[in-house]
Chain A
Amino acid sequence: AQSVTQPDIHITVSEGASLELRCNYSYGATPYLFWYVQSPGQGLQLLLKYFSGDTLVQGIKGFEAEFKRSQSSFNLRKPSVHWSDAAEYFCAVFPSSGGSYIPTFGRGTSLIVHP
C-alpha cells in the first residue's frame, strides 16, 4: 500500500519569502501525485498534480512542485508567499496501476505567514 509523509507539521515564513513544503511517498512505482490546500473550515482545493512527463509542474496561485523519482519526493514551492497563502497543505498519492485506486493523504503542513 502507498503512504505519504509530510515531515513538517508547521512552517512559518515571512510574507514575500520563498516557501518549500516537503512530501515523500512510498509506492512500488511512480504514483499520481497531488497537492491540495485547505482554508479553515473548508474543503480541499487542488493546487497541482503530476501524472507523467515534465517533472516540474505548475499549479494555481503561483505554486509549483518538482517530482524527484530518486528521492521519492514531490515538494511544493512558491517563490514569494502572500499572507493569503496561510492554510493547511496536503500532499496526496494515488496508485498508477493496480491497487484499489484510493487517494492517500499526508497529515498536512500548516503554513503560517508573518507580515
Chain B
Amino acid sequence: DGGITQSPKYLFRKEGQNVTLSCEQNLNHDAMYWYRQDPGQGLRLIYYSQIVNDFQKGDIAEGYSVSREKKESFPLTVTSAQKNPTAFYLCASSMGFYDAEAFFGQGTRLTVV
C-alpha cells in the first residue's frame, strides 16, 4: 500500500544530543513537509521541500535541519540548538504544485530528557 512511514514512533534522547527522524513515502509525491505539533498550537511548519535537492525553511526552522537527496525521503534532524525539542512531529507529502491534498505519516513523539 502507498503511504508515508515515519520512524520511530517514539524516541527518547538526552538533552544536547542531535536526533534524526525518518520520513519515507512511496506515493511518488514531489512535495514533502515537516510539522511540529504542540498541545493547543496546531501544526507549525518546520521545513518543506517541493523538489529533490531543494528545501525551504518554514515558520519555526531554528534548531532543525533537513535533507532531500531522494524523492522518497525527507529526514529531519533535531539539533542541540533547538531549545524545546519535546513534541509530536508529523511528516506530510503532496503531489506539489497542482494537487493540494496532503497525506500524513503517523507521527514521531520525541521526548528529550
Contact = CB atoms under 8 A, between A and B. Distances in A.
Interface of A: 9, 32, 34, 36, 41-46, 49, 51, 90, 92, 94, 96, 100-108
Given A43-B106, A44-B104, A107 B96 contact: no
Given A9-B40, A107-B41, A43 B107 contact: yes
B42 A105 contact: yes
19 contacts: A32-B100, A34-B100, A34-B101, A34-B102, A41-B107, A42-B106, A43-B105, A44-B104, A49-B101, A90-B42, A94-B102, A101-B97, A102-B48, A102-B58, A103-B100, A104-B45, A105-B35, A105-B43, A107-B41
B74 interface: no
Nearest to A32: B100
Given A102-B48, A105-B42, A107-B40, A43 B101 contact: no
Nearest to B45: A102
A103 B42 contact: no
A104 B43 CA distance: 8
Given A41-B109, A92-B102, A100-B56, A107 B33 contact: no
A65 to B, nearest CB: 15
Interface in B81-113: 88, 90, 92, 94, 96-97, 100-107, 109
Contacts of B109: 41
Contact of B104 (A43, A49, A101, A107): A43
Closest 8 CB pairs of A and B: A107-B42, A94-B100, A43-B104, A32-B100, A105-B43, A44-B104, A43-B106, A108-B42
A11 to B, nearest CB: 14
Contacts of B101: 34, 46, 49
